[in-house]
Structure 1
């Protein structure tokens, strides 16, 4: 039933409740035949006529348009504000519950924009709770709508591309990103489009397409420079830094990352600032391991900040993994094990790559502590998770790490198999 039909139906229902005929409702400003056409959905009343009919029927214009009273509309909008606030404050389970309650409200049936807000908010909350499959399902359904505004389509595409990448489905992530960026009706570069491009760039890196990644990172940097906005500059610089590191340009990578962190410190939201700070610390650890103490301190700060925001479970768990690696570099093996165990306690079963990484770190910590049986158990579990995860650069590197650790345990057979899996990951 169209919105025009629904408006006519509501006018007819309220008219009958008031005990009025069509002629009585119409007189003297309108004809009864015109009212009949409106009620049957054959005519679309002008805003002025709708206001007139609402006054005559002693009901709100909001009700005639949307099927809810002004009080119900205000209650829904307040509910959405509280749900968003809970998400922004890191109360992700509460946010998910609030958005779920709004989605189930029958009053939203005629409120397309507010219903979309509730669905989109629920998907973001599901992602923050680590339920990527649920988030993906909702985002895919939302993108199927043909009447989405361009800005909303970009936002949903960005979230969906990010979820697919976190899940390890790099093919799907690339498909979503390229489809949005390649649309004929795509607007000129904006902050949202640069962020979408940056997420797509990470997918290129993960699947090992470094040539395309390096070319595309240049395009994003140029777009960000043209825009001149902090948000676009941070996204472009940060992801260009990752490309630079992957192509062995460490100093350039750190310079780009430091620029992103400096700009975000002045202009960014708390969640993304914490994520950038933690990722910068881990980048610094990889490029300059001699600065492990500085990296550890930055990660401790990032961990505290993440816990106060709407950062996803995966983001928080990965910060613990990075902390474990920093502690390993400092020789604090017990502390490294604690952080790795904490990370495993946060991650859901479908987070295969992060779970494998956490198990690898824990296995190394146990190996250094002389707990060979525990180390072997963790490395075996890591291998199992690596085997379930889609092939990517990080998964291939995980196999190399597992192989070296298994070799230290004198498990030559398992070590050889891990090396073979690593070679297969690079197409050899």
Structure 2
């Protein structure tokens, strides 16, 4: 039902509640036939006419247009803002609950922009909670609405939908979503939002193993970012081109691209995202230059301090601590690695944390305990990893978790559990 039809229905309902005929409502400014056309949805009244009818019906203009009072509209917008803040601060379960409550409230039925905002937020929160199927279902509906979403939202929805398909393991769908927008017949001119969508498409190529296409497209993305010369585009293009370079064995080139992204983000970026990027760069450098483990640990410590000074979530901080454990493992200090990994694990609340983040914390702790020759404790941590991964929907990250767990279980000599973990890794990868 269109907004025009809903307005007409509201006018008709309130008119009848007031005991007025169409002629009485119309007199003397309007004709009763015009009121009839408005109520049947065949005419779109001007704002001036709506103001007149609202005064005659003794209701607010806001109610006639939106189906809610000004006070209700304020409460809905406040609720959306609170849900958005919870999501931004990493309180993903709370954000999902708030968005779900808003969507269950019939007040959003006639408020398409607010309803779409709530659906988009709910989808992102569902993704963050690990419920990729639910996120994909909601995002697919929004994606099908296309330009009806207005503004930048269609591209943002495409980015999230492609990312969720990728994490779910449906790489064909992830690529299709990105290519339909970026590479179709009516190909749009590049802008910041489309570069971010391109970066998401690039990640799908990488996971699919199409490194030749990824290399070609990363060059196109870098050229587009250079032409735009905006910080947002340069950071997205350079970082994802760095990932491609790393995956294709060009580690030093990857570091150079990542360093440029970090430099631009340092000049113009939001502090929390800068700290996150610094952490990601430190992990990349640790992998490419293992001899730089000490410098990488220092970068991670700096990133952790920056995150603590920002509005970072507990999950973000836990990832930092777990990354520090990885650096200590590289430095050959399993005792310190155990200390960091245990702290990272204990920071995560099972009721609200993303299962894969928790699983990684247990996994790194198990690895550190193995190196520390504390096999019994390592086995207990790996059992926790298995418990969490079993209840996690299949995705690339879940496959990586199972693979790492399989290797650790193999070191423990638990061949049966190791073989099962290998099989689960293959299943999560769709093999």
**TM-score normalised according to structure 1 size:** 0.83
Equivalent in the alignment of 2:364: 361
Q: State the Cα distance separating 1:229 from its structure 2 match.
A: 0.8
Q: State the Cα distance separating 1:155 from its structure 2 match.
A: 0.5
Match of 2:109, SS state, is helix
Q: Mapping of 1:91-106 within 5 angstroms?
A: 91-106=91-106
Match of 1:110, SS state, is coil
Equivalent in the alignment of 1:156: 157
Alpha-carbon separation, structure 1, partners of 2:113 and 2:242: 38
The 1:261–1:61 alpha-carbon spacing in structure 2 relative to 1, beyond 3 Å, is same
Q: Number of matched residues?
A: 426
Any conservation in 1 of the 2:130–2:355 contact (CA below 8 Å)?
no
Unmatched runs of 5 consecutive residues or more in structure 1: none
Q: Does 1:255 align with 2:253?
A: no
Any conservation in 2 of the 1:317–1:347 contact (CA below 8 Å)?
no
The 1:65–1:245 alpha-carbon spacing in structure 2 relative to 1, beyond 3 Å, is same
Match of 2:98, SS state, is helix
Match of 2:152, SS state, is helix
Q: State the Cα distance separating 1:27 from its structure 2 match.
A: 1.9
Equivalent in the alignment of 1:73: 73
Q: How big is each residue's C-alpha offset from its partner over 1:130-170, in whole Å with a ceiling of 9 and x where there is no partner? A: 44443333222322335333621111111222233344443
Q: State the Cα distance separating 1:112 from its structure 2 match.
A: 0.5
Equivalent in the alignment of 1:288: 289
Q: State the Cα distance separating 1:263 from its structure 2 match.
A: 1.1
The 1:100–1:338 alpha-carbon spacing in structure 2 relative to 1, beyond 3 Å, is farther
Any conservation in 1 of the 2:406–2:417 contact (CA below 8 Å)?
no
Any conservation in 2 of the 1:99–1:122 contact (CA below 8 Å)?
yes
Alpha-carbon separation, structure 1, partners of 2:405 and 2:156: 36
Alpha-carbon separation, structure 2, partners of 1:194 and 1:75: 35
The 1:256–1:373 alpha-carbon spacing in structure 2 relative to 1, beyond 3 Å, is same
Q: State the Cα distance separating 1:199 from its structure 2 match.
A: 1.7
The 1:44–1:360 alpha-carbon spacing in structure 2 relative to 1, beyond 3 Å, is closer
Alpha-carbon separation, structure 2, partners of 1:7 and 1:163: 37
Q: State the Cα distance separating 1:374 from its structure 2 match.
A: 4.3
Alpha-carbon separation, structure 1, partners of 2:29 and 2:354: 65
Q: How big is each residue's C-alpha offset from its partner over 1:240-291, in whole Å with a ceiling of 9 and x where there is no partner? A: 1111122222222111111111111222223422221110010111111222
Equivalent in the alignment of 1:224: 225
Q: How big is each residue's C-alpha offset from its partner over 1:155-208, in whole Å with a ceiling of 9 and x where there is no partner? A: 111122223334444343323322332344453211111111112212222232
The 1:342–1:193 alpha-carbon spacing in structure 2 relative to 1, beyond 3 Å, is farther
Q: Mapping of 1:323-402 within 5 angstroms?
A: 323-341=324-342, 346=348, 358=361, 361-375=364-378, 399=403
Any conservation in 1 of the 2:89–2:313 contact (CA below 8 Å)?
no
Equivalent in the alignment of 1:213: 214
The 1:144–1:422 alpha-carbon spacing in structure 2 relative to 1, beyond 3 Å, is closer
Match of 1:42, SS state, is coil
Alpha-carbon separation, structure 2, partners of 1:59 and 1:422: 60
Q: Does 1:274 align with 2:287?
A: no
Equivalent in the alignment of 1:191: 192
The 1:334–1:131 alpha-carbon spacing in structure 2 relative to 1, beyond 3 Å, is farther
Aligned-residue CA RMSD in angstroms? 3.9
Q: How big is each residue's C-alpha offset from its partner over 1:376-423, in whole Å with a ceiling of 9 and x where there is no partner? A: 66668879969x9969699579858965x6776677999899999999
Match of 1:144, SS state, is helix
Q: Mapping of 1:23-172 within 5 angstroms?
A: 23-145=23-145, 147-149=148-150, 151-172=152-173
Equivalent in the alignment of 1:240: 241
